[in-house]
Amino acid sequence: MFNQIDPEAKIGQNVSFGFGVRVYGNVEIGDNCRIGDFCVIGHPTVRPGSTPLKLGAAANVRTHTVLYQGSTIGPDLETGHHVVIREGAVIGENLRIGNFSDIEGACTIGDFVRMHSYAHVGRGAKIGDFVWLFSLTTLMNDPLPPSHLSAPVTIGDMVTVCVNAQLMPAVEIGRGALISSGAVASGVVPAGAVVTGADGEIAGQVRFLMHMESRTRHPWHKHFADAYPSHAQARIAALGAEIDAEAANTLDI
């Protein structure tokens, strides 16, 4: 099998392609991108509109990833294997999305978002900056499935959604909140809150969480900021301070 690169595609400098790659014509690929084996870049969509897929510079797109036309993806995208990003997504800088995860289109995703394997982002979701979605998290958008209704999820900056948590349609997660493993979140979650259990109980404040053996405390930006590049550090510090103040003023638990 040979690569199929449409001559109409706009491809930057120093872009490499693996084996069996298909690139459609309605595509703009930035400089220094790496496209792995058996990827599809600019997959056609049946939805109205024909805007190009814009893939930012320095992306690392791993094998069997499918990126649809009509999305705009910022620099330094990093995918795992078997990832799907549908049409109409607007994605910021340095999204890292794990194996077998999917973004179902028309989503807005901020900078430095981290999605682990098997995460599902329902169509229309709005996700802020520095958000963590761990494995098996599901962002829903249909309040009466199956229907034509749409009630996407909104997630504020610096939110952490732990393994196997479920975000119900129309939930609004305040900045800096933490949704615990296996929890079901609905309604409006205050900034800096901890949500637990199948009934979505607000169990306390993130700032009281501690790993007892190491004495490491939340919020995460106070112990994990060094995992981000140097040019993000000022943003993390400023945003973290804003969120800490907001949580202190709005959450009384």
**pLDDT profile of the chain (253 residues), mean per 10:** 90 97 96 98 82 96 97 98 97 98 96 98 98 98 95 98 98 97 97 95 91 90 93 95 86 57
Retrieve residue 34's tokens.
Answer: 């790496």
pLDDT of residue 250: 72
pLDDT of residue 5: 94
CATH of domain 4-250: 2.160.10.10
Position 34, amino acid: R
Model confidence pLDDT, tens digit, residues 166-178: 999 999 999 999 9
Which DSSP helix (H) or strand (E) runs through 245?
helix 233-250
List Cβ neighbours of 60 (8 Å cut-off, separation of 6 or more). 33, 34, 77, 78, 79
Instruction: Answer yes or no: pTM beyond 0.85.
Output: yes
* 159-173 per-residue burial string, b: 16 or more CB within 10 A, e: under 16: bbbbeebbbbbbbbb
Domain boundaries, the chain: 4-250
Q: Residue 175 and residue 171: Cα distance in Å, rounded? A: 13
Q: Residue 47 and residue 224: Cα distance in Å, rounded? A: 40
